[in-house]
Amino acid sequence: MNRYIDFLDRFKWIIIVLTSVIMFGLFTQSKHFAFEGSYRIWFAKNSVILKEYDKFRATYGSDDMVIVAFHDDKGIFTHKALTTIKRLSSELSKVPNISRVDSIEPSD
């Protein structure tokens, strides 16, 4: 143990400078480090499972949505406002590529 301490004491400035240079070199290259958190790294590029999953997501898993909102000075729960919402929902459900329309419905 004394030999190790003597070595550190004898070469302390070389160790400090060398460690600093190595750390500086690592820090300057840290911009090239990347983290891949995707599940895709665990599958081959031509994986059948991955292709089937992508096909499934394309069919059923779209996160695309549009929110339509409007303002009525008399309030949102008036008969006029609810009728307008019902008519707007009905028209939106007729638009191509819209798979679902969620809205509040008036109780006549």
pTM score, whole prediction = 0.40
Half-sphere exposure of 43 (CA within 13 A, CB side): 13
DSSP character at residue 39: G
The answer, yes or no, to whether residue 108 has pLDDT greater than 70, is: no
| 80: Cβ contacts below 8 Å, ≥ 6 apart | 72, 74
Contact at 8 Å (CB) between 75 and 81? yes
Q: What is the DSSP string of 36-58?
A: ---GGGGS-TT-HHHHHHHHHHH
At 29, give phi and psi (nearest 5°): -95, 0
pLDDT tens-digit map of 66-91:
788 878 888 878 888 888 888 988 89
DSSP character at residue 65: -
The answer, yes or no, to whether residue 12 has pLDDT greater than 90, is: yes
C-alpha gyration radius of the chain: 32
Q: Where are the domains of the chain?
A: 1-33
Contact at 8 Å (CB) between 87 and 106? no
